[in-house]
Amino acid sequence: MNNLLSVLGLILFVNISALAATVNDNIVKSTKLFHSTAHSTTTYHVSGVDDGTYDILISPNEFDQLSHLSVSLKESGEQLPYTWLNGDSYVQPYNFKRLAVQLPPNTPQLTLVLSISLNNPSTPLPSQLTQDDLAYSLSFKTYTHVVTPYHTNEMRVKVRAPTSKIHRYGMTHDDSKTTKNGGSMVYGPWMDVAPYSIPTDHIEILYEAAGPRLKYEVSERSAQVSHWGNVVSFRDDIVVRNNGPSLKGQFTRLTHQAQTFLNVLPTNIATMLSVRLPALSEEVFFVDQIGNVTTSHYKQGDGHSSHSLLQLKPRYPLMGGWKYSFSIGWENSLRFAAKLARDGTTRLSIPFSSTPEDVAVDRHTTRIILPEGAQVHSVYVPFEVDVQYETTTSYLDTIGRNTVVLSKHNTSDAHNGDVTIVYSLSLFNALRKPLAVAAVAFALFSAATLLRRINTRI
């Protein structure tokens, strides 16, 4: 009898713990659409968590367009580690990808924030435009629900377009659950949604573009650190492409000038690019294959502002499908970028990229060229990147410079955060350059003296 009771108790206990399953009390997904990118934030109010993990499902579209992803706790902002699960755990037949987020211990109730950035989430329509066509549209496909492995009490999906000119926004089966206000759409609230439920197929949001759709086909940064010169010198080599509808027919400068004069430029033309540089950047340059481009504007941020602004005006307007190659460069005082730690190491922080808002980058590479003789202790990047090491040899170098090469596919402004490198540089190595210069100067001096002697003898 006693045994039977304890077995019953065990069964009850198991049942109760199975009942105390994870529930989404509320989910809100907000997506902000641009032309080349989109940023989306999903807030999950969760309760009943008992095993320390929470699974998030990512739609195949989002997975293919993914540029950046992070999961954090809403209250503290703390980033949480996650792993992608493969194989059978994909949600069929829709092929959603599953992400297992590791939660801090003893948090039955919490609010998670999933932040994702997408590159090229929208398709331009039509695919070609003449110079006289003033407008084009972008088509974005999404689900009206957030798909999740848990029961959800209430959820909403919000989408905001860059203009209020929305040609289509996908009525769901329940018109009263679809609201549009200017360029903002809200789907829901959906109540008591079962796990894994995908009640409607994709909807399409067709919105009119307010500007060009730009991408960087090439984006290469080099940042050279000089203790001797007390500077970090940056150079970015860029190939930008207007990735909107391509130009149909001939380009005529006359039409362009008339449109500029009348202030009716087509939205598909890029005439300006704004790049945020670190505050107090100096020695700024903007060159292309022809030479210095003087039609740029630089507004230096002071010590209080977070950045300086460089406005680049390409030599010609970028029509749909056109490309432009250029380089920009600047210098930052080393004292803003590097700190000497007590143990004698240097802690250097360099922005990984300075990609403008709404530019999709195919692949970005940052080369950080350390002073001669510097030994790298650690490299920290707040997202996944490929890390490689090289040696760069430049003028008057004796042993070459250790160089950290970081690269990543499909980046955007979500990757403009700092890379931190800790390195050490012995006094001898710090003096290597001046010693080399002194040695060369001495050699020249000796040679000159010798020549003078020879000369006087003749």
Ligand X SMILES: *[C@@H]1O[C@H](CO)[C@@H](O)[C@H](O)[C@H]1NC(C)=O
**Where on the chain is the footprint of ligand X (CB under 6 A)?**
64-65, 285, 291-292, 409-410
329 vs 351, beta carbon nearer ligand X? 329
Closest CA to 329 of 302, 305, 347, 354: 354
- With CA atoms as reference, report the closest residue to 195 among 158, 156, 146, 157: 146
Both tokens assigned to 376: 């790298």
Q: Name which of 243 and 345 has its Cβ closer to ligand X.
A: 243
Query: How far apart are CB 68 and ligand X at their closest, in Å?
Result: 11
> Nearest distance from residue 385's CB to ligand X, in Å?
11
Please, which residue, 192 or 384, has the CB nearer to ligand X? 384
What is the smallest separation between the CB atom of 294 and ligand X, expressed in angstroms?
A: 8
Cα 384 from Cα 417, distance rounded (Å): 12
Pick the closest to residue 117 from 65, 183, 63, 39 (CA basis): 39
Residues in contact with 242: Cβ distance below 8 Å, sequence separation at least 6, in sequence order: 212, 213, 214, 268, 269, 270, 318, 319, 320, 321, 322, 323
Q: In terms of CB distance, is 167 or 409 closer to ligand X?
A: 409
Record the tokens describing residue 145, joined without a space. Answer: 């629900």
Closest distance to ligand X from the beta carbon of 291 (Å): 5
Return d(Cα 157, Cα 178) in angstroms, integer. 10
Shortest Cβ distance from residue 143 to ligand X (Å)? 19
Least CB distance to ligand X at residue 222 (A): 17
Closest to ligand X by CB, 370 vs 381, is: 381
Q: Please identify, using beta-carbon distances, which residue of 331 and 372 lies nearer to ligand X.
A: 331
Beta-strand relationship, 203-208 and 128-129: unpaired
Name which of 102 and 292 has its Cβ closer to ligand X. 292
Which residues does 178 contact at the CB level (< 8 Å), separation at least 6? 144, 169, 170, 171, 172, 185, 186, 187
For the chain, the distance separating the N- and C-terminal CA atoms, rounded to the nearest angstrom, is 124
SS3 content of the chain, % helix, strand, coil (to 5): 15, 45, 35
Smallest distance from the beta carbon of 409 to ligand X, in angstroms?
4
Phi and psi based region of residue 402 (left: phi greater than 0; alpha: psi -120 to 50; beta: remaining): beta
The 3-state secondary structure of 116-155 reads EEEECCEEEECCEECCCCCCCEEEEEECCCCCCCCEEEEE
In terms of Cα–Cα distance, which of 412, 416, 355 is closest to 39? 412
Shortest distance (Å) from residue 276 CB to ligand X: 20
Query: Which CB, 230 or 292, lies closer to ligand X?
Result: 292
